Structure 1
Amino acid sequence: MTENLTALCPCQSGQPYQSCCQPYHQQQHFPANAMLLMRSRYAAYALKKIDYIVQTTVPSQQTLLQVDELQAWADNTTWVGLTILQHLTRSKTHSQVEFKAFFAQQDRTQVHHEISLFVNIAQRWYFVDPTVALPNMKQPCLCGSNKKFKHCCGGLL
Structure 2
Amino acid sequence: MKNLNINPQSTCPCCSEQPYQDCCLVFHGKSQLPDTPEQLMRSRFCAFYLGLNSYLIDTHHPDFLNGLTEADLAQEPLPDWLSLDVIASEQQGNSGYVTFQAWYKLDGQLDAIHEHSSFEKLAGRWLYTEGKQRAAILPKRNDACVCRSGKKFKQCCWR
TM over 0.5: yes
The 5-angstrom pairing of residues 41-120 of structure 1 reads 41-62=44-65, 64-72=67-75, 76-89=78-91, 91-120=92-121
Residue aligned with 2:74, SS: helix
Kindly state the Cα deviation for residue 61 of structure 1 after the two structures are TM-superposed. Answer: 3.6
Kindly state the Cα deviation for residue 71 of structure 1 after the two structures are TM-superposed. Answer: 1.3
Question: Is 2:10 the partner of 1:7?
Answer: yes
Q: Deviations over 1:1-28 (max 9, x none)?
A: 4321221110000111111100100111
TM-score (norm 1): 0.76
Q: Deviations over 1:74-130 (max 9, x none)?
A: x621110100001022x3011110000000111111010000000011221000035
Instruction: Name structure 2 gaps, 5 residues minimum.
Output: 133-159
The answer to whether the 8 A contact 1:58-1:127 is kept is: yes
Kindly state the Cα deviation for residue 63 of structure 1 after the two structures are TM-superposed. Answer: 6.9
The answer to whether the 8 A contact 1:55-1:62 is kept is: no
TM-score (norm 2): 0.75
Kindly state the Cα deviation for residue 40 of structure 1 after the two structures are TM-superposed. Answer: 0.2
Amino acid at match of 2:67: L
User: Matched residues in 1 for 2:82 and 2:60: separation?
Assistant: 23
Q: Percent identical across equivalent pairs?
A: 29
Equivalent residue number for residue 141 of structure 1: none
Aligned residues: 129
User: Matched residues in 2 for 1:67 and 1:81: separation?
Assistant: 22
User: Matched residues in 2 for 1:128 and 1:71: separation?
Assistant: 20
Equivalent residue number for residue 151 of structure 1: none
Q: Deviations over 1:37-64 (max 9, x none)?
A: 0000000000000000000011334472
User: Matched residues in 2 for 1:96 and 1:58: separation?
Assistant: 14
User: Matched residues in 2 for 1:24 and 1:14: separation?
Assistant: 16
Structure 1 moving runs of 4+ over 6 Å: none
Amino acid at match of 1:33: T
Amino acid at match of 2:84: L
Residue aligned with 1:9, SS: coil
C-alpha RMSD over aligned residues: 1.8
Question: Is 2:50 the partner of 1:38?
Answer: no
Residue aligned with 1:68, SS: helix
Instruction: Name structure 1 gaps, 5 residues minimum.
Output: 132-157
Amino acid at match of 1:52: Y
